[in-house]
Structure 1
């Protein structure tokens, strides 16, 4: 997940876990991402090409790299996603190594300078994913019911309005949870990406969609679970005014009720 003000591209030294150093061998190791839960991504670059290695410390149940590996292996039969090269775990943590795929992240400076083109590529890429992945063959679930269980876990752990996005902090906990208990009717069931924040779309240099990355939450859900967050995240990375570009490129009109619901669910779950 990518929230405003959360650590993203590392700005200082990052300790390289021993297993990542061992996997790299003689390759150069460059930290490229740090998510808000402490998960790290490294670029391994050498004479054999480029690989990406994710690592998460043991005891971080929110990040399931084994589950992501299974989802990538399933999805790549129909859509462009990274190929899994290796995965494993030890007492220190879990890791996942994938092959590099063509394209630049939509938060690359190339796209921060041209956010309208990037937002359109995100919308088109999301539509491609929703149209291509077969719901009836998907073994993974990202339903409201499953996500509500996670929301309740966070509430039980003491999280509340102070931990939410500014758009939702005016709600008290009981009111917000009550809203989640009344989901809108399903518009269209699809296989959702599960984390459609801007960095997780790769684009070719001409703005065409290239690939999706970070599919650790992929599963069947209403398409608005993806759409609402994809458009919302353009505000965090590009500033206001590009959410409509995502919807237009996807080929759909905004649905205020579903957008509001799935953004609140994202925030709380």
Structure 2
């Protein structure tokens, strides 16, 4: 993320003091800890206080590229569909920033569970995504088909929001403009549309001892090809668990998998 877009509140002033004014009295006594897991463009804080429920606050610069209003809309829709996700407690804009206040999803993210049982992580991730992809999305208002997503990728590139230093190893050194031309040239001819999470990496899937507990960071959820989720989940599994666990994940998910589409959606994700 370019340095002039880092959404963190000023280091000289506690984040709690920069939150929307209406939140400050109800949240008095909470400790705010910045979270570093995951790749969210927003600043994320874990709020904790003795005897009170754990909460999360997210903030980012307001503007056309801010995804927090998108996330709020998707959390409301997910909740209406019975899809496990954070409870949206409050939404506000203050001093040029968007803010969300969220309830905590039980458990830990799948990238942070204690090591020693990668098979369980793979099983939970595959089952959670398969169940999400089976949700009836005929009324889904969030269109993330390729026409929209490629256009959005181009907007982000022109806005200077694509971090070329963070490209996957095999693409380091390639410019964003050249990579965008690859996206356009390699676009699949059709799409296997389902309800997708949009950023289905292990840090965005939660679980406890009993199993899957919910999705977090849902700002890119919408109607898209299922390979959107499978590509990012497979990459995250490779990164966190090792290459050997990608095939078991895809086998557990089931059905025919198009490896070229997996590669394409990983390429497209370089712009997000």
Q: Tell me if structure 1 keeps the 8 A contact 2:16–2:32.
A: no
**2:155 aligned partner:** 153
**1:196 aligned partner:** 200
Q: Aligned-pair RMSD on alpha carbons?
A: 3.0
Q: Which moved more, 1:19-28 or 1:240-249?
A: 19-28
**1:43 aligned partner:** 46
Offset of residue 30 of structure 1: 2.5
**2:90 aligned partner:** 86
Separation in structure 1 between the aligned mates of residue 179 and residue 55 of structure 2, nearest angstrom: 45
| 1:80-159 mapped onto 2 (5 Å cutoff) | 80-110=84-114, 112-132=115-135, 134-157=136-159
Q: Does 1:74 align with 2:102?
A: no
**2:229 aligned partner:** 226
Secondary structure of 2:219's counterpart equals coil
Secondary structure of 1:225's counterpart equals helix
Residue by residue over 1:129-176, the C-alpha shift from the partner in whole angstroms, topping out at 9 and shown as x without a partner, is: 1112x2211000111111111222344356686552113347675475
Residue by residue over 1:31-88, the C-alpha shift from the partner in whole angstroms, topping out at 9 and shown as x without a partner, is: 22366575222222232312111122345x4432121111011012231111111110
**2:238 aligned partner:** 235
Separation in structure 1 between the aligned mates of residue 13 and residue 270 of structure 2, nearest angstrom: 28
Q: Which moved more, 1:147-156 or 1:96-105?
A: 147-156
Between Structure 1 and Structure 2, how many residues are aligned? 256
Separation in structure 2 between the aligned mates of residue 97 and residue 36 of structure 1, nearest angstrom: 19
Separation in structure 2 between the aligned mates of residue 153 and residue 256 of structure 1, nearest angstrom: 27
| 1:1-16 mapped onto 2 (5 Å cutoff) | 15-16=14-15
Structure 2 stretches lacking a partner, 5+ long: 7-11
